[in-house]
Amino acid sequence: MGYAELHQFTQSVFIKMGCSEADALQAAGVLLAADLSGVDSHGVARLEGYVCLWEAGRINVQPDIKIIHESPSTATIDGDAGLGLVVAPFAMKTAIEKAKIAGTGWVAVQNSNHFGIAGIHAKMALAEDMIGLSMTNASALVAPTFSRERMLGTNPIAVAIPSGEEPPFVADMATTTVANGKLEILQRAEKEAPIGWVQNAYGQGTNDAAILKEGGALLPLGSDREHSSHKGYALGSIVDIFSAVLSGAAYGPWAPPFPAYVPLPQNPPGKGLGHFFGAMRIDAFRPASDFKENMDLWIRRFRKAQPVDAKQEVLIPGDPERLAEEHRKVHGIPLVPKVCQSLQALAKRFDIGDSGFLN
Amino acid sequence: MGYAELHQFTQSVFIKMGCSEADALQAAGVLLAADLSGVDSHGVARLEGYVCLWEAGRINVQPDIKIIHESPSTATIDGDAGLGLVVAPFAMKTAIEKAKIAGTGWVAVQNSNHFGIAGIHAKMALAEDMIGLSMTNASALVAPTFSRERMLGTNPIAVAIPSGEEPPFVADMATTTVANGKLEILQRAEKEAPIGWVQNAYGQGTNDAAILKEGGALLPLGSDREHSSHKGYALGSIVDIFSAVLSGAAYGPWAPPFPAYVPLPQNPPGKGLGHFFGAMRIDAFRPASDFKENMDLWIRRFRKAQPVDAKQEVLIPGDPERLAEEHRKVHGIPLVPKVCQSLQALAKRFDIGDSGFLN
């Protein structure tokens, strides 16, 4: 599937939902950044999910996104229940503008929705010679250490760091051992999950990749207590608190679910999903050229670290996604039949004419 | 061992090394915060190690710690090869002062030494109604995913978050599956390590708790690729880059070692160890009282998450260390014979009279 056609189609769907041209363009670009970088679970496969949330009245396509609290280096933003795909870039831009003057900028967001992959927002800082940070809470699928209850989302953290001649360092990770998308891939292939990825409703480790449908939970990074799952639990908690307690969004088990058919948790202590963004100007710490030269040295030294197996060199965070992007820009984005069908249904429903490429 | 006597003794040692009264008082308090909170590996057990570093000319006991670069919300500090136990509180205070005016404060430190436990510095922000962050790089003991070479330190991250009536949330964690101290405990007890903690010099998993003496390495949080060790590797890398590349310290395999008998890496690309600190004023995002009320609710809800085993309730980050501190303040700090002997040797060497309590 060619990227340009898929982008045009996605933008058309957002326009049919009632988004402005500009918002639809941005939302399509952010959503498809996932497909381009190989994170198929978070891209156009979710387009139908966003439409369902809109139909359920949980997404406001004409949001009045605004700053409700600020200081020289901070802001809190009310996303007005808009698409996270639009709210997040607004918030990250705000962080960058703050950083231009104050050296750093930090923005907490309440009342938002899912924002796609975390990395795309963090990467906005790179062109400004800034380090970018991005995180979000999400609906509860993860059990804390010692618990059998789902209390946290997969709560990703992304950090993008500029370099000189080398490609930038871009880490983008769920704070769980694996994200839910990896389980979905195993389910489709009818394969088992390794022990350490999920537990059942009683809190016992299991190989069942479909256990979340039966009250199971994802495990925090670290997998079990002996391998320090309490650290993954702490990281996911920090993301939840920065994104939602600091901003006034719904946190922990009250975070709103992505599937529109799942009822909203009752009596949430805040509004919608929460995000947290940061931008740090490199030259607020040292001259940017010095930093970039040293980042190049850092990257080259780590790439040459002695490998366990000569056939697999050490990777720098961001390598796999960048390679996927280079390949997919040329060769197109592979879509599984189920995703193609969901897009065809959207084309029919919204009467989008130029969708022959989906057949 | 009573805390007060141990503190007095530790302060005396730092004074004999040539520290000012004020610096010695501070260094003793920071070092012993580890013993108080149950992290025996990072406390007074290392006092002899600091003395050896000083004897080797690697610690400057009369440092001229100064800001060498700044913006409204940031500063870079040169620690002048001082004790990290003194440089770090100076840097964290700078972050707090910046936050008072700019909303947040972020301080990168070059040319420092080991700063004790990360949590004690992050916790300085709590009394100011701020969130505190603290991290440091350290000498290389950790192999990146796919590598058999030691490239990163255990590079801890600490985050302290204020609450209202509940005790604060304080996460303090090495970005490895376990810190080196846990291996030392196993070695003393002649026990094996679980698979997933360490690898041998060829990059293969092993139970040998003493494998670091034979070219082995600690594993990043996640343990192996299947359980996402690349995330622990990325976290440790972010700590290295924020602490050392941003500040101008020595990074990656060039970070200076703690044992004074280990030669310094040749041609380091920066000076000494690096740290990174942050302080975020809560009311730069929302009224502090609102935040604290919600943190209390967050903490209470997570503490009541359904346990796997009714006998082990879900913990909040910071619980184990706080409980240890409450106990040890009353009952004293247990010292193993080897540590007692090292303190007796220091008492003799520095002719510290009031050390009868060590016998």
CATH of the domain at B230: 3.30.1370.60
Which residues from chain A sit within 8 angstroms of residue B131, using beta carbons? 242, 246
Cα A245 to Cα A255: distance, rounded to the nearest angstrom: 11
**Rg (Cα) of chain A, in Å, rounded?**
20
Question: Do residue A171 and residue B234 have CB atoms under 8 angstroms apart?
Answer: yes
pLDDT of residue A27: 98
Which tokens in the block code for residue B142?
């950790």
How far A254 CA lies from chain B's nearest CA (Å)? 10
Which of B160, B188, B218 finishes a domain?
A: B218
pLDDT of residue B184: 86
Note the pTM of the prediction, 2 decimals: 0.98
For A200, the closest chain B residue by CA position comes to B308
- Identify the band that residue A307 occupies on the pLDDT scale cut at 50, 70 and 90: very high
Which residues from chain A sit within 8 angstroms of residue B221, using beta carbons? 221-222, 228, 231-232
Three-state DSSP at B65 gives: coil
Q: Which residues in chain B (200-239) have CB-CB distances under 8 A to chain A?
A: 202-204, 221-223, 226-228, 230-235, 237-238
Question: Do residue A308 and residue B146 have CB atoms under 8 angstroms apart?
Answer: yes
Is B125 in the same domain as B242? yes
Question: Do residue B226 and residue A280 have CB atoms under 8 angstroms apart?
Answer: no
Which of B168, B198, B218 finishes a domain?
A: B218
Is B63 in the same domain as B130? yes
Mean pLDDT for A215-234 is 98
Question: Do residue A286 and residue B178 have CB atoms under 8 angstroms apart?
Answer: no
- How many structural domains comprise chain A? 3
Model confidence at B357: pLDDT above 90: no
CATH code assigned at A203? 3.30.60.50
**A136 phi and psi angles, rounded to 5 deg:** -150, 150
Signed CA dihedral, A231, A233, A236, A241: sign only: negative
pLDDT of residue B315: 98
Question: Do residue A147 and residue B282 have CB atoms under 8 angstroms apart?
Answer: no
ipTM surpassing 0.90:
yes
Which residues from chain B sit within 8 angstroms of residue A268, using beta carbons? none
Is A190 in the same domain as A148? no
Is B122 in the same domain as B199? no
Residues B156, B239: contact at Cβ < 8 Å? yes
Mean pLDDT for B5-25 is 97
Distances (CA, A) of A67 to A19, A80, B357: 21, 11, 60
Question: Do residue A146 and residue B294 have CB atoms under 8 angstroms apart?
Answer: no
Q: Which residues in chain B (114-133) have CB-CB distances under 8 A to chain A?
A: 131
How far B331 CA lies from chain A's nearest CA (Å)? 27
Helix axes B47-55, B3-17, angle to 10 degrees: 0
CB of A46 less than 8 A from some CB of B: no
Q: What is the pLDDT of residues A6-39, one digit of tens each?
A: 999 999 999 999 999 999 999 999 999 999 999 9
In-domain check, residue A195: yes
- Domain of A250? 64-173+227-284
Cα B340 to Cα B45: distance, rounded to the nearest angstrom: 8
In-domain check, residue A117: yes
Q: What is the pLDDT of residues A174-201, one digit of tens each?
A: 999 999 888 988 988 899 999 999 999 9
In-domain check, residue A111: yes
In eight-state DSSP terms, residue B135 is E
Helix (H) or strand (E) holding B107: strand B104-112
- Report the 10 Å Cβ neighbour count for B20: 13
Is A47 in the same domain as A141? no
In-domain check, residue B76: yes
Q: Which residues in chain A (156-175) have CB-CB distances under 8 A to chain B?
A: 159, 161, 169, 171, 173
What percentage of chain A reaches a pLDDT higher than 90?
Answer: 94
pLDDT of residue B354: 66
- Report the 10 Å Cβ neighbour count for B354: 11
Model confidence at B67: pLDDT above 70: yes
Is A83 in the same domain as A132? yes
pLDDT of residue A1: 81
Half-sphere exposure of B223 (CA within 13 A, CB side): 25
CB of A189 less than 8 A from some CB of B: no
**Rg (Cα) of chain B, in Å, rounded?**
20
Model confidence at B80: pLDDT above 90: yes
Cα A319 to Cα A239: distance, rounded to the nearest angstrom: 24
Is B88 in the same domain as B182? no
Q: What is the pLDDT of residues A97-127, one digit of tens each?
A: 999 999 999 999 999 999 999 999 999 999 9
pLDDT of residue B145: 98
How far B287 CA lies from chain A's nearest CA (Å)? 9
Model confidence at A354: pLDDT above 90: no
Model confidence at B81: pLDDT above 70: yes
In-domain check, residue B349: no
Is B248 in the same domain as B160? yes
Three-state DSSP at A190 gives: coil
CB pairs under 8 A between A and B: 258
Which residues from chain B sit within 8 angstroms of residue A203, using beta carbons? 308-309
pLDDT of residue A229: 98
Is A198 in the same domain as A82? no
- Identify the band that residue A3 occupies on the pLDDT scale cut at 50, 70 and 90: very high
What is chain B's length? Answer: 359
How far A205 CA lies from chain B's nearest CA (Å)? 11
Is A151 in the same domain as A13? no
Which of A186, A201, A218 finishes a domain?
A: A218
Cα B86 to Cα B19: distance, rounded to the nearest angstrom: 10
How far A11 CA lies from chain B's nearest CA (Å)? 33
Which of A201, A228, A241, A229 is closest to A217 using CA atoms?
A: A201
Comparison of pLDDT for B322 and A188, the residue scoring more: B322
State chain A's mean pLDDT as an integer. Answer: 96
Is A144 in the same domain as A6? no
Question: Do residue B231 and residue A203 have CB atoms under 8 angstroms apart?
Answer: no
- Residue B199 C-alpha from the chain's centroid: 23
Is A240 in the same domain as A155? yes
How far B236 CA lies from chain A's nearest CA (Å)? 11
Mean pLDDT for B87-109 is 98
Nearest CB partner across the interface for B285, out of A69, A101, A177: A69
Which of A294, A251, A289, A304 is closest to A273 using CA atoms?
A: A251
- Identify the band that residue A353 occupies on the pLDDT scale cut at 50, 70 and 90: confident
Q: Which residues in chain B (318-357) have CB-CB distances under 8 A to chain A?
A: none
In-domain check, residue A313: no
Burial letters A318-355, b for 16+ CB under 10 A, else e: bbebeebbeebeeeebebeeebeebbeebbeeeebeeb
How far B137 CA lies from chain A's nearest CA (Å)? 14
Q: What is the pLDDT of residues B109-134, one digit of tens each?
A: 999 999 999 999 999 999 999 999 99
In-domain check, residue B238: yes
pLDDT of residue A30: 98
Which tokens in the block code for residue B150?
């030691």
Q: What is the pLDDT of residues B142-175, one digit of tens each?
A: 999 999 999 999 999 999 999 999 999 999 999 9
What percentage of chain B reaches a pLDDT higher than 90?
Answer: 93
In-domain check, residue B28: yes
CB of A257 less than 8 A from some CB of B: no
Q: What is the pLDDT of residues B282-307, one digit of tens each?
A: 999 999 999 999 999 999 999 999 99
pLDDT of residue B143: 98
Nearest CB partner across the interface for A221, out of B106, B197, B221: B221
